[in-house]
Amino acid sequence: MKVLQYQVQRRNEASSLEEPTGEAYNLFAFPSECNFSGLRFSLDLVKIIKEDPARILEGSPFCNGRWMVLIDAAKGSATEPPDLSLYPADFVVMSFYKLFGYPTGLGVLIARNDASRLLKKTYFSGGTVATSIADIDFVRRRKSVEELFEDGTISFLSIASVHHGFKILNSLTVSAISRHTASLAWYVRKKLLGLRHENGARVCTLYGDSKALFHDFGPTVSFNLKRSDGSWSGYREVEKLASLSGIQLRTGCFCNPGACAKYLGLSHLDLRSNFEAGHVCWDDHDIIHEKPTGAVRVSFGYMSTFEDAKKFIDFVTSSFIALPNWIESGYQLMQGSESRLGAASFYLKSITVYPIKSCAGFNVESWPLSTTAGLLHDREWVLASLSGEILTQKKVPEMCFISTFIDLDKGILFVESPRCQVKLPINFITDSCNGGSEQIKLNGQRYEVQSYKNEVNIWFSNAIGRPCTLFRCFSSSHNFCLNKIKSASMRREVQSVLNFSNEAQFLLISEESVSDLSHRVSTKDVQKGACGAASQISPMRFRPNIVISGGEPYAEDGWKILKIGNKYFTSLGGCNRCQMINIVHDEAGLLQKSNEPLATLASYRRMKGKIFFGILLKYERSEPVGRDGDLWLQVGQDVHPNVS
């Protein structure tokens, strides 16, 4: 065993660092089991450090001091708690949550009596002093170590549950738990290492010492997956697909940046570069510069079963191994210039406008285009929390119950909610002068926005059940002409291309593609023996602006340029779907969540970690600047794909 010598690091630089004498106390802390890889460390380190520190710390001036040892047994004590009669550590820290799964936020420090007397505190709080005087520096602390260090009211309700946790462990015995969990981890490790793609490439990269594959490992398996071409599958992709299969995984660096950097081969430069690229803990940036930023971890406990382990292996096999015809028979993602046009004809089936981001939209027979921001007034308003966070259905599902409608003749946005008795009219011509203006940030873009009077914000706060503020984007251009009605024209020239849309001006969905998806979901339900009538998936589940009809399913995948009426649009590619499409609200006004249709889409519409359905469009204005022309879309208009 070797120790890497690092430069001494201190929060405050000392003018000089004296060489420690034999009376100086030093602390050596190490985990009994690595929470990243599951690798167990030899507890012989306790005796070596205490009795012969020079054996490991050779050449270091610190080998002269008195060494005390702390074992971090939070992970290891669940299956192999340290025997303090054999390994006389001075301190041991443990986590009840990792022992029993409950309670969270409650740990324990085990300290030897002689070692505990060396611990000092420079502050005090409730329950830790015998007496104190408020206005002078006088305090007498309690003498027993538990009274001295347990600040404030302890979590006595959680402590009461610890008794029941130990009762379970004692009934099962730790040795039996250790054998049980080790066999599950061994099975998963062996199966993962044996997985191969059709071309023979390994599917899985395990982290930890390969020589110690079947020995010296706890019930933890940490890994990343590779595609057949050698590229990595991101841990977020694995986690998202696993959750659709009812499997909960831990992903990322597991609060262990040292082991994470070591096993993933990330240099200091890599870590800084990843941060500068926008990566922070718990985000979705799982692959940066073609390198993973974290890993996937499977952990087993006394309640885990062989069926759990096998289900996980089956999940990896079915979702991440490329075999001949690995994508099920049917329509696959179109790439390049391919298309299945033939003699098929397409037409515009419906138009939907969503004035307020993440709220319900309304269907129209015809609607004007903004020359730079898609459909006129589409996602022109947004709700924000009092702290400035932009609110969406991902965090506030109740937003889907807010219905909207715009009367272009009157210049009024009407808003309704089942939680509000009064319909709210917002005049977006006259009301635009009533509120102040400010800047907000969304998706890395800065917006100039208009705020509204307090009564408007109170209405929306009641509608979603939390305080919020309504903003209107006025940094986007609304250069259009209402030439189908007798209202006055309105024009505002401001440089922008999007209102509050996430990725593009328009989302197009094919009615035939939705029908094919519904059939696949229904077939899967029948195969699983699900009872009851299969529910038909509505195109509105995907919040499209444009729904087309005609042709074959997924023909839109291969489109590059299309013409609707006399308007030209450019395809920006497929729309990456998330779990929001699994949430629907029923007629009773209740939210229902399932794994579908995202689970089915993942089985045949997944590419490079993304699940595509529908295409994103950008409007290509053909009229010269200053001439508005007929900037309207009309239901029933012909759709001509891949026009030159």
Reply yes or no on whether the pLDDT at 309 is more than 60: yes
What is the pLDDT, as a whole number, of residue 533? 44
Beta pairing, strands 381-384 & 362-364:
unpaired
108, 139, 172: which is the final residue of a domain?
172
- The verdict on 511 and 450 lying in the same domain is no
Same domain for 574 and 465:
no
Sequence letter at residue 104:
T
Q: Which of 96, 143, 88 lies closest to 119 in space, CA to CA? A: 143
Catalytic residue among 34, 255, 531, 578: 255
The residue from 142, 172, 202 where one domain ends is 172
Are residue 30 and residue 168 in the same domain, yes or no? yes
pLDDT attached to residue 210: 54
Which residues lie closer than 8 Å to 308 by C-beta, 6 or more apart? 184, 300
pLDDT at residue 453 greater than cutoff 50: yes
pLDDT band with cut points at 50, 70 and 90 for residue 235: very high
Cβ–Cβ < 8 Å for 147, 135: no
CB 347 within 8 A of CB 455: no
- Backbone φ, ψ for residue 225 (5° rounding): -110, 145
- Residue 478 in any domain: the answer is no
Asked if pLDDT for residue 556 goes beyond 90, the answer is yes
Residues 426, 424: Cα–Cα separation, whole Å: 6
Residues spanned by the domain of 265: 184-320
Task: Name every residue whose Cβ is closer than 8 Å to that of residue 92 and which is 6 or more positions away in sequence.
Answer: 70, 71, 73, 82, 84, 109, 110
User: ∠77-80-82 over CA atoms, to 5°?
Assistant: 70
Do 121 and 249 lie in a common domain? no
pLDDT tens digits, residue range 590-644?
Answer: 778 888 899 899 888 988 888 999 999 999 876 554 445 578 999 999 999 987 6
Residue 459 in domain: yes
Rounded to the nearest integer, the mean pLDDT of the chain is 84
Q: Which of 10-14, 286-290, 445-449, 528-532 has the highest mean pLDDT?
A: 286-290
Is the pLDDT at 384 greater than 60, yes or no?
A: yes
Q: Looking at the structure, do residues 515 and 547 belong to the same domain, yes or no?
A: yes
Secondary structure (DSSP) of 590-635: -EEE-STTHHHHHHHSEETTEEEEEEEEEEE--SPTT-----EEET
**Burial class of residue 547 (count of CB atoms within 10 Å of its CB; 0-12, 13-18, 19+):** buried
Residue 79 is assigned to a structural domain of this protein = yes
CATH code assigned at 132: 3.40.640.10
Residues 527 and 447 in one domain: no
Q: Categorize the per-residue pLDDT at 226 as very low, low, confident or very high, splitting at 50, 70 and 90.
A: very high
Q: Are residues 191 and 313 in the same domain?
A: yes
Q: What stretches of 173-305 show up as alpha helix (H) in DSSP?
A: 174-194, 235-244, 257-264, 268-276
Helix (H, G, I), strand (E, B) or coil at 489: coil
Q: Is 255 one of the annotated active-site residues of the chain?
A: yes
Q: Cα separation of 139 and 388, whole Å? A: 45
Q: Which of 432-441, 536-545, 591-600 is modeled with the greatest confidence? A: 536-545
For the chain, the domain total comes to: 4
Calculate the CA 368 to chain-centre distance. 36
Q: Which residue has the tokens 């001075």?
A: 90
**Which of the listed residues 172, 198, 230 is the one where a domain comes to its end?**
172
Q: Say what the pLDDT of residue 482 is.
A: 37
Residue 102 and residue 192 share a domain: no
Question: What is the spatial distance between Cα 264 and Cα 289, in angstroms, rounded to a whole number?
Answer: 13
* pLDDT surpassing 90 at residue 587: no
Tallying the residues shown for the chain, one arrives at: 644
Half-sphere exposure of 317 (CA within 13 A, CB side): 12
User: Do 235 and 268 belong together in one domain?
Assistant: yes
Q: What is the pLDDT of residue 489?
A: 31
585, containing H or E segment: strand 583-585
Please say whether the beta carbons of 450 and 437 come within 8 A: yes
**Residue 66 domain flag:** yes
The secondary structure element, H or E, covering residue 30 is: strand 25-31
CATH of the domain at 228: 3.90.1150.10
Based on the fold, state whether residues 45 and 167 are members of the same structural domain.
yes
Q: Which long-range contacts does 405-408 make (Cβ < 8 Å, 24+ apart)?
A: 405/362, 406/353, 406/355, 406/362, 406/377, 408/368, 408/376, 408/482, 408/485, 408/487
Residue 492 has pLDDT above 80, yes or no: no
Summarised one tens digit per residue, pLDDT across range 328-337 is: 444 455 544 4
Same domain, 388 and 273: no
Same domain, 240 and 310: yes
Sign of CA dihedral 259, 262, 266, 271: positive
Q: Which helix (H) or strand (E) holds 224?
A: strand 220-226
pLDDT at 208 > cutoff 90 = no
Residues 76, 151: Cα–Cα separation, whole Å: 27
Residue 481 lies in a domain: no
From the list 344, 343, 347, 374, the residue with the least C-alpha distance to 361 is 374
Residue 442 has pLDDT above 70, yes or no: no
Measured CA to CA, the distance from residue 448 to residue 438 in angstroms comes to 6
> Pairing between strand 567-576 and 295-299?
unpaired
Examine residue 336 and state whether it is found in any structural domain, yes or no. Answer: no
Which of 65-69, 462-466, 505-509 shows the lowest per-residue confidence on average (mean pLDDT)? Answer: 65-69
pLDDT, average across residues 489-498 = 38
Distant-in-sequence contacts of 107-111, Cβ < 8 A, 24+ apart: 107/74, 109/149, 110/84, 111/145
Comparing CA positions, the residue from 574, 581, 615, 576 lying closest to residue 598 is 581
Domain membership of residue 501 (yes or no) is no
- Tokens 């630089």: give the residue: 13
Decide if 455 is inside a domain.
yes
